[in-house]
Amino acid sequence: MVRLTEQQIQFYKDNGYIHLKKLIEDDELQKLSKEYDDLFRRKNQAKTESAWVGSDDTFRESNSPYTVKGIHNLQMHHAVFGKLLYNDDLLDALEDVMGTKNIVLHHTKAHYKPPEKGASYPMHQDYPYFPYEKDSMVAAFVSLDDSNPENGGLFVYPGSHKFGPLEDFGPKEGSSFHYVDQKKFPIERATPVISEAGDVVIFSYFLVHGSTPNNSTRPRRMFLAQLADAHDKPIGAERGQPGRGWVLRGVNLDRDATIAKRAQD
């Protein structure tokens, strides 16, 4: 059981994120790592994986040699990823951070930054992609490799979650990506999160964050789950995701009420 201390919970409230060391144990981490690599290999061979490109000083240039491979909804590809979502240590930490015993899945994704040509990701908030009424949405960022600024690690602006929704400087024409003003939030002034494989960073969807390019000889692999309070609701329409609304802990009383109303109708 991993329950956060009062100091850790206060750190999250003050900074908008919490870095938990070695939350995923070695045996589970090895299984995740193997199936992660196998999944990306299959997707690459089938040429069905998504990708985006960019560099350390531009945003998604089509002619850039830098790239990131991405796969969404990994729990639909192998059971090991679904099992991770029910990891009790992870859910204990999420419960303490979110202040709710009722946690549902929004979606999962993985970004693989290849050695020597892994693209950067401009500073941004996750909020524009899926705003919720009570702003309960958080991300659980699982590192499958040791990561730092050299191989494209995560950077954050501590306390930026307190600003709420910031001016959206995206998407550019023909793009669906969102980001904040890079002059106000340059990555050079952000705080690097130095992680080991098995570490988890939980952060608010208001937190300004991004990552550097991977110019090292090492990969940077990550798995991310977005989660919300079961009784929070999206603002406006949003694209459906496989498994969205899966109850990972607790109960979804709103779902119970909806089903009961449909039965009466």
CATH code for the domain of 114 = 2.60.120.620
> The dihedral of CA 5, 155, 242, 30: what is its sign?
negative
pLDDT of the residue at 263: 41
Considering the domain boundaries, does residue 1 fall inside one? no
Considering the domain boundaries, does residue 119 fall inside one? yes
For β-strands 103-113 and 200-204, DSSP reports them as: unpaired
Report the alpha-carbon distance of residue 131 to residue 127 in Å, rounded: 5
Residue 18's domain comprises 6-264
Report mean pLDDT in 10-residue bins for the chain, 265 residues: 90 98 96 96 72 48 76 95 97 98 96 93 94 97 98 98 90 70 96 98 98 96 98 85 92 67 40
User: Is the distance from CB of 206 to CB of 135 less than 8 angstroms?
Assistant: yes
pLDDT of the residue at 236: 81
pLDDT of the residue at 171: 58
User: Is the distance from CB of 76 to CB of 191 less than 8 angstroms?
Assistant: no
Question: What total number of domains does the chain contain?
Answer: 1
Helix (H, G, I), strand (E, B) or coil at 81: helix
Report the alpha-carbon distance of residue 104 to residue 88 in Å, rounded: 14
